[in-house]
């Protein structure tokens, strides 16, 4: 992919946005893991914990980029990403993170929690990168400082403006559809029938957003009924 092409910069912007939309919980994890430490150790825990988490995530993403070159794995990854896009809209997560009593324990907690929570991020970024390691690395380098220092603000924004989550879910659904159409065994079929590519994209994006909104509304009505 040409470094100066519109395709490259569009993919990079997509990766940064995916990192932001899926990494909102990371700030909460970091805060909870380091909260019991003395003030002078909290910054160290955040820095080293985040650095370790970035390193592991970068390796995992690069590994998945190569894995997706195997026939039918892009299809499998795309289908999984559709579920992730849907889950982003309907999930109601609780964070049960044990705060570390020492600097090492806090760093370990941040790294392990990020690795466990970062599977969806790894698959999404690997799919959006279209095989480019440069995009993966650049996306991480740009996103991580924003995630570490700006996630709390981003969480506040998504609470205030819920449509941001819908935009993120739509981008994930679009990325999932493109992953499916780029699968090694299916790419020629979709290249020969470009209208089918866009039909699949529309079905996946509309299906995820409409399905997610319906389930979310149903849950909201149930909570309202239970409250009364």
- Of the ranges 115-124, 138-147, 173-182, the best mean pLDDT one: 173-182
Q: Mean of the pLDDT values across residues 178-197?
A: 86
**% of the chain beyond a pLDDT of 90:** 11
Alpha-carbon distances, residue 97 vs 21, 109, 119, 161, 202 (angstroms)? 20, 8, 17, 27, 38
Confidence (pLDDT) at 149: 63
**Phi, psi of 102, deg, nearest 5:** -135, 165
Q: Mean of the pLDDT values across residues 176-184?
A: 88
Confidence (pLDDT) at 80: 87
* Mean pLDDT for the chain overall: 79
Q: 22-43, pLDDT tens digit by residue?
A: 765 566 666 666 766 787 787 7
More confident residue, 202 or 19: 202
Alpha-carbon distances, residue 118 vs 15, 45, 182, 188 (angstroms)? 14, 19, 23, 32
Q: Mean of the pLDDT values across residues 4-12?
A: 83
More confident residue, 68 or 3: 68
Indicate the pLDDT class of residue 208, thresholds 50, 70 and 90.
very high
């Amino acid at each position: 992919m040409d470094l100066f092409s519109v395709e490259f910069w569009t993919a990079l912007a997509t990766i940064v946005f995916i990192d932001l939309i899926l990494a909102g919980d990371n700030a909460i994890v970091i805060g909870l893991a380091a909260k019991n430490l003395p003030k002078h150790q909290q910054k160290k825990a955040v820095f080293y914990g985040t650095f370790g988490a970035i390193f592991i995530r970068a390796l995992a993403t690069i590994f998945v980029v190569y894995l997706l070159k195997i026939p039918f794995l892009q299809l499998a990854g795309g289908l999984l990403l559709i579920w992730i896009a849907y889950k982003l809209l309907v999930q109601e997560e609780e964070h049960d993170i044990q705060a570390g009593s020492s600097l090492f324990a806090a760093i370990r907690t941040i790294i392990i929690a990020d690795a466990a929570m970062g599977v969806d991020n790894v698959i999404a970024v690997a799919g959006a990168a279209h095989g480019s390691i440069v995009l993966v690395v650049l996306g991480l380098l740009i996103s991580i400082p924003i995630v570490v220092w700006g996630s709390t603000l981003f969480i506040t924004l998504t609470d205030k403006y819920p449509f941001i989550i819908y935009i993120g879910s739509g981008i994930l659904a679009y990325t999932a559809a493109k992953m499916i159409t780029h699968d090694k065994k299916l790419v020629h079929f979709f290249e020969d029938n470009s209208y089918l590519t866009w039909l699949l994209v529309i079905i996946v994006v509309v299906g995820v957003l409409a399905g997610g909104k319906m389930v979310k509304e149903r849950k909201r009505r149930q909570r309202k009924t239970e409250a009364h």
